[in-house]
Chains A and B, each alone.
Chain A
Amino acid sequence: MTLLQRPVLVLLLLVTHHLLQCWIAFGSVDEEGQKQEEFNEELLLKPLPDRTVLAHFHFQSSAPPSTSNGRHHHLFPKAISQLVQKFRVKEMELSFTQGRWNYERWGGFDPIASSNAKPPGVELWAVFDVPQHQVDASWKNLTHALSGLFCASINFLESTSTYSAPEWSFPPSSGNLRYGTLPREAVCTENLTPWLKLLPCRDKAGLAVLLDRPSIYRGFYHSQRLHLTSTGSGSKGTDSGIILNQALTVVLQPIQPNGQRASMDHASEKHIQPSWSLSSIFGKQVRGRCVLAKSSKVYLQLDRGLVAELKRIHKENEKSVANGLTSENFWSYPSFELSANPDRIVVEENSLHSKSSSILYNFQVEKYSESEPLDLGLTWKIPVVWLCQSAPLHSSRYLMGSGNERGAIAISLKSTQLREGFMGAFADNERCELRVDVFQVVPWYVKVYFHSLQVFIDQQPKAVSDVIEKIHVSPSKDKVSPGMMEMVLKLPCRVKSAALTIEFDKGFLHIDEYPPDANQGFDIPSAIISFPNFHASMFFLEDGSVNKSPLLSKFQEKSPVMSYTEVLLVPLTTPDFSMPYNVITITCTVFALYFGSLLNVLRRRIAEEERFLKDKATKKTGQLPLLLSKLSAKLRGRPWEPPHSPPSSSFFISSKLVFKVILVAGLAVSWQYYFS
C-alpha cells in the first residue's frame, strides 16, 4: 500500500493545484455575487464483457437560487429554466432511448444500469409543485412544451389514457407525480441536436465533440436523458435553484483495425477482448475541455468482476513468473495497457454485496489541447473473461395465449447465480425475504382482470396473499385512463424463479383511435421491477475531489436497483377501415328492399290480377315468347312482325322504352354535370 500511495498523493496534489487555479480564474466574476451558474462535463468509459464499450456522458448545469431565474442566464439554458418556472416542475426526467439494455450481459447492479438504462422510446415523469387539481393541466402543458423543445411527439402523452399517477412504487414517491411512456417513438439526431443545444459549448468543444452522429447511432444501445431537480423551498415567492443533469449512454462496438492481429492464432483472438481507443469508437478525439466547464474529466472504469478476474490472473502469473511485483499494484497493468497516464486512480470502497471493488482511472481533460489531444485507448495483452454483476433477479415479461380475444401477461423473475455472493450473509436465515416492487401500466384496451392474478414460486402456485404484501390497483376506464398496478412482493431468499400471470381481454377501439399502422400491434409499456433492499451505489473514499465530481457523487447516491422489462406487442383485431360505408350500404339496401316490397304488397289487388291473367291467357301468349321472336327476327335481319297484335301497340311500347332510356341517360348526364 505504501508504495502505491505515494504516487497517488503526488497526483492528488497536482490535481488539487490545478483545480485551485481554475477556481481562482473563475473567482474573478463571483467576487461580489453569491453563487454562480456552473457547468461540469464528464465521460465514463467502461469495457463490457461482450466485447463492447460503454460510454456514459454526463453534463451537469446548475443555477443557484436567484430572482432572475427564468429571465437572465449566463450558462444555464434559458429554455429549461423557463420551463421550470412556468410549469412549477419540482423534478422531471425525460429519456429518449433506442435499443434495449442487455441486463444479463451489461449488468444490472451498478448505478449506470440501474438509473440510466431506460425503456425503448420516450419515458417522461415529472413531479409538480402545484395543488393537486392543477397537476394534470401542468402535465399537459409540459408535454406540449417539451415536444416543441425536443422535436418529438411527446405531446401524445397529453391524453389522460396515456399517463398514470403512481402512488408509491415509482422511486420519487409523491402525490404530484405523473408518469408516461411512448414505446414506439423513434429516436434520432433531431432529438439529439436540441438536447446538445442546452449545453453551453454544444458539440463545438469539450467532451461533446465525441458525439459523432453516425458512430453513436450505430451502437447497440443509445439513451439520452435529461433530469432536472429544482432545489430550495420552491414555494411561491421564494426562488429555487435548478440542477440539470444531462446524460447520454451509448454501448458501442469498437471497430477492429483490419490485419492488426493477423499473426495471432485464431483461438486466442476469439477470447481476447478488443482493444479500442476514443478515435476507434467515436472517430474523434478530445481536443481540450469546454472552456466554460468547471471541471472536465474522463473516467475509465473497470468493473468489479473484471477487477476480480484481473487479480486472479495476476496471482497466477506471479506464481509462475515471480517478477517481483506485489499483488496489490496489479493496476500497474501487466494485463492491459493504457495509451495515456491516468491523473488519479479512484478505488471503490469495498461494498457489502461483492467480493471485489471497481477501479476508476481519472484523466483530466485540461491537460490536453489541440496539439496533443486525448485519445484514450485500452489494449488488452491477455484474454480476459468476466461477468458483470446483475440484479438479484433477472426479470422478463411475455405474452401468453393466442387469438384476438384474450391473453395473459406473465412477468417472470429468475434468480441470477451471482446472487449467492451478496445474499450469502442472509441465506442461512430461514425468514430471510427479498422485497420486489413491480410497477406496471397497461393501456385501457388491454382489459386486465385483477382477480386472475396468479403467483408461482419455483413453479409451484402460491396463494396471492402469501407473496404479495401490498398491492395498489387503479383499474382502467375505457378511453379515459390506463390501468395501473403497483405491487410489493415478498419472496423467500432461496427462490429460484417466480412468475406472475394476469389475464386480460382485448378491447375494441373506435375507428378513429387506430394508429396508421394498426396491423403492427399495440405496445404495452415496460414494467418496472425494483429491489428496494439493494442499492446500486458505489462508495468512494471521502475526498474533496470526489465530492466535486457530479458523476461520482451521482454514483454515491443511494438508489434502489431497478430494471425495466421488455415492451410487449399485443395484436388487436383491426377492422377493415372501409367497413362503416359497407355496413351503411348493406343496411340501407335491405331497408330499401323492405320498403319497396311492403308498398307493393299494400297496393296489390289480387282479384283483379287474377282476372287479367285469365284474360291474357286467352288472348295472347306471354311476354317472353314475344321478346324471343323479336330477337330472332333481329338476328335474321328481317323486319319483325308481331304475331297478332296491331302495329300501333308495338310502336307505343318501343317509344316508351326509348323515353325511359333517354330519361335515365339525361339523369346521368345532369348528375355528371352538376357533381363533377
Chain B
Amino acid sequence: MPEISEVPELDSSKISDNASKAPPRPEFDPKIMRKTKPGLKRLFLTHSVLFSFLLGFPFLWKSVEIYRSPLPFREIDSLSTHLRSNTLLFPLHFHAIFIGFDSDADRLRYSILSEISKLTSQNLKCFNNYSLSVTVDSGSRCLRAPITSPHSCPYQCGSITAIDFDPVDDVAVDERLGSVFGRKIKEYSVVVVKGENERAVVGKYRHAWMVVGGGMEVEMAAMKVAEVLVKVFVNGGREEGSIRTEFMPVGADGNIVLSFNLLNADPRDWVYDWDFQKIDETLLAPMIGALGPVANISVESQVLYHTPKASFSYWNQKLESHVFSTKDLPFFVNSNEWHLDTSIAAGGRSKILQFVVYVPSAKECPLLLQLPNGEISKTNGFISPMWGGVMVWNPQSCLKNSENKTTARHAIPLQDLENMFEVFIGQFRQLFGFRSVNVYAGGSGIWNLVPSERGFTEWELDVLSRQHTCFNLHSCATTLASLSRLVQSLPRMIIMDEIGKQVKYSLEAAKLAQSNASIGGYGFSTTSSRQARSLAEDAFFHPSIMSVSYYSFEHCFAVYSPFFLPVSMHVVLAALRELKRYKQEKAKYLAWKAKANASS
C-alpha cells in the first residue's frame, strides 16, 4: 500500500521532466491538476491519531513515574553550609577575680583577652563566643571591667578573702567557692589570691583558684588565667595528640550500653564471681545520672568462663610474675573465645562499650602489664577506643588449691571491686577523651583537678555537651547531605514518605539545637542535637533505601518499547504521507484553478 502514495510523486517528477522537454498542453491534464478540492478526511484522521498519541505521552510518563517524597534539598544544603561557614556559637562567660591585687581592671582584661586570642588561634570546628569580665578586689576598692557587665555577676566584692583558701583541703575551698558563685550559674570564674603556698586548683564546679606568691607578676597571673580558661574550661584539658574528638563513643541513636564482663580464663583453676548489683547501684548510677543529657546509658554484666587471652606472656624472674607488654595489646582480646556478644536489649544503632575484667589462669598468674618504659602499669589495664577497656585482675594468692577438687566460686572482695571500678571509670573518661589523672600540666604550670564523686565534674560535662552538640550537628549535616546527594544521583529510586518526614524532623531538631546553643542551653541543645542525628541516621538507613527496589529505566523501556516503537512508526509515517499527499493535491487543484482563471 505505501507504494501507491509514492506513485503521484514519481509521476509528478516524471511529468516535470516531460514538461521540461515538451511544451505544456493547454488542456486539463489529470496528472498535474485536479478540479475538485482535495479531501481533508484522511488527513484529519491520521493527525488526530498522532495528536492523541502525543497527548497520551504525558499521562503515560506520569503513570510510570515512581513515588518520591519531596525532600527539602535546599534546607539540607543551607544547614551544612551554615555549619561549615558560621561556626556554632556557644556563648561562654569568663570571670577573673583578683583578690588582694591593686591594678587596673581594664588593663588586666586586655592582657587576658590577648592571651586568650593567642591560645585560640588554631581554628576549632565549633568555635565559642566568649565574653570576659574582670574584678579586682583589693579589700577597700572594687574595680570591675567592663563596668556594665551584660549579665548579672553574682560576685559581691569582699565575700571571699585570702583566709578562705586553705592550702590543704581543696574540697572545702571548692565547696566555699561553690556557695559564693552559685553552683548552677553557667559562668567560669578564676580567683587569683595572694598567699604563701603557691597552688593552682580547678574545682569540680565551674571555677578555679590560684594562690600566687607575693612576688608574682600580674601579667604572669593573667597568662595562667587565660590558659586555664581556654585549655581546661573550654577544651576539657585534653592533650592534642590523644583520642580525636570525632570518636565519640555514643551510638547513632544516642544510647550507650556498658557491658561489663568478668572473664575466668580457666575455671578449673578457680572461679571468681562478683556482686555487680551493688557496684551498679553505688558507683555507676551517679555517673550515669550525670551523663544523662549526653547519652542514655544502660548497664549489663555477665560472667564468662573458659576464655583464655590470645596473646602470650612470659615469666619475669625479677618481678616474679608473668608479664605482657604493650606490643601484645592488639592481640590480647580473643575474639574467638570471648563471646562478649552484642546485646539484644539494646536497640539497633546503640553503641556497646565492653569492659572486661580478665582473671588469669593459674599458669599465668600473676599477670602484669609492662609499659614501654619498662615500668609496670598501675592500673593493669588498657583501653581500645570505640570498643571499651580491659583490666587484668590477679587473685590474692596465685596458688592453686590442689587438694580441693571441687572448685568453689569465690567472690571478688569488695575493696578490689571498688578499685576495679575506679579504673573502669577512668577508662570510661579516657574513652570520652578526658584525662584519667587529676593533674593538668599546662604550658605555664600545673593545675590540680578536684575529682567529682560522679566521675565527671560540672565543667567537664559542659565540655562534653558542647562537643557533643557540635559533633552531632556536623554528623547530622553530613548524613543529610550524603542522603540528598544519593537521592539526587538516583532519579528513579523510590523514596517513602517516612523518609521525608524523618528528614524534616531532623532539620527541625537541628535548628532547635542551634538556637538553644546560641542562648547557652547546654542540656536542651545536646538532647535536640542527639535527636537530629538519630533521625538523620534513621532516614539514611531506612530499609526502603537500602533495598535495590528502584524501577530502572531499562526495565521501563523493555516493557513499553515493543508496543510504542512499531505503533508510533505507523502513526508518524501515515501522518507524514497524508500531509505530503494533501500538499500535492492542493498544488494540483491550485494549478487547475489558476489555469481556469487564466482561461476564463
Partner-B contacts on A (CB < 8 A): 21-22, 25-26, 28-29, 68, 70-75, 78-79, 82-83, 85-86, 145, 149, 197, 200-202, 204-205, 288, 291-292, 366, 581, 584-585, 587-589, 591-593, 595-596, 599-600, 602-605, 608-609, 612, 623, 646, 648-649, 652
CA distance A588 to B559 in the complex (A): 9
Q: Which one of A25, A584, A592 contacts B406 once the chains associate, using CB atoms below 8 Å?
A: A25
What B residues does A593 contact at CB under 8 A?
566
Partner-A contacts on B (CB < 8 A): 1, 3-4, 7, 10, 13-14, 17, 42, 45-46, 49, 267-268, 271, 273, 276-277, 280, 298-306, 339, 341, 343-345, 406-411, 558-559, 562-563, 565-567, 570-571, 574, 577-578
Give 6 nearest A-B pairs by CB, closest first. Answer: A592-B566, A588-B562, A588-B563, A204-B306, A596-B570, A82-B344
Cross-chain contact B345 with A70 (CB below 8 angstroms): yes
Cross-chain contact A595 with B562 (CB below 8 angstroms): no
**Given known contacts A28-B410, A72-B276, A584-B559, is B302 in contact with A600 (CB within 8 Å)?**
no
**Given known contacts A200-B305, A291-B267, A599-B49, is B341 in contact with A79 (CB within 8 Å)?**
yes
CA distance A600 to B566 in the complex (A): 14
Closest to B6 in A: A656
What A residues does B271 contact at CB under 8 A?
291-292
Closest to B279 in A: A72
Cross-chain contact A72 with B17 (CB below 8 angstroms): no
Give min CB distance, B396 to chain A, whole Å: 15
CA distance A600 to B17 in the complex (A): 31
What A residues does B565 contact at CB under 8 A?
592
What B residues does A78 contact at CB under 8 A?
300, 302, 341, 343
Closest to A623 in B: B3
Give min CB distance, A372 to chain B, whole Å: 13
If A145-B344, A581-B558, A602-B42 are given as contacts, then 12 extra A-B residue pairs at C-beta distance below 8 Å, sorted by A number, are A26-B408, A70-B300, A71-B299, A71-B300, A73-B302, A78-B300, A82-B343, A205-B306, A291-B268, A591-B563, A596-B570, A646-B17
Cross-chain contact A22 with B305 (CB below 8 angstroms): no
Give min CB distance, A133 to chain B, whole Å: 23
Main secondary structure of the interface of A (DSSP, over half): helix
Q: Which one of A83, A584, A603, A612 contacts B578 once the chains associate, using CB atoms below 8 Å?
A: A603
Cross-chain contact A25 with B408 (CB below 8 angstroms): yes
CA distance A204 to B300 in the complex (A): 25
What A residues does B298 contact at CB under 8 A?
71
**Given known contacts A25-B406, A78-B302, A649-B10, is B280 in contact with A86 (CB within 8 Å)?**
no
Give min CB distance, B260 to chain A, whole Å: 9
Q: Please list 24 pairs of residues, one from A and one from B, whose beta carbons are closer than 8 Å in the complex, sorted by A's number.
A: A25-B407, A70-B300, A71-B300, A71-B301, A72-B276, A72-B280, A72-B302, A73-B302, A85-B345, A86-B344, A86-B345, A145-B344, A205-B306, A291-B271, A292-B305, A366-B406, A581-B558, A589-B566, A595-B566, A599-B49, A599-B570, A600-B570, A600-B574, A602-B45
What A residues does B277 contact at CB under 8 A?
68, 72
Give min CB distance, A473 to chain B, whole Å: 36
Give min CB distance, A642 to chain B, whole Å: 13
Q: Which one of A74, A201, A652 contacts B273 once the chains associate, using CB atoms below 8 Å?
A: A74
Q: Which one of B273, B300, B344, B566 contacts A596 once the chains associate, using CB atoms below 8 Å?
A: B566
Give min CB distance, A285 to chain B, whole Å: 16
Give min CB distance, A476 to chain B, whole Å: 28
Q: Which one of A83, A584, A591, A603 contacts B574 once the chains associate, using CB atoms below 8 Å?
A: A603
Cross-chain contact B4 with A82 (CB below 8 angstroms): no
CA distance A75 to B1 in the complex (A): 91
Give min CB distance, A219 to chain B, whole Å: 26
Cross-chain contact B267 with A648 (CB below 8 angstroms): no
Give min CB distance, B337 to chain A, whole Å: 8
Cross-chain contact A602 with B300 (CB below 8 angstroms): no
Q: Which one of B42, B303, B574 contacts A74 once the chains associate, using CB atoms below 8 Å?
A: B303
CA distance A517 to B407 in the complex (A): 54
Closest to A87 in B: B344
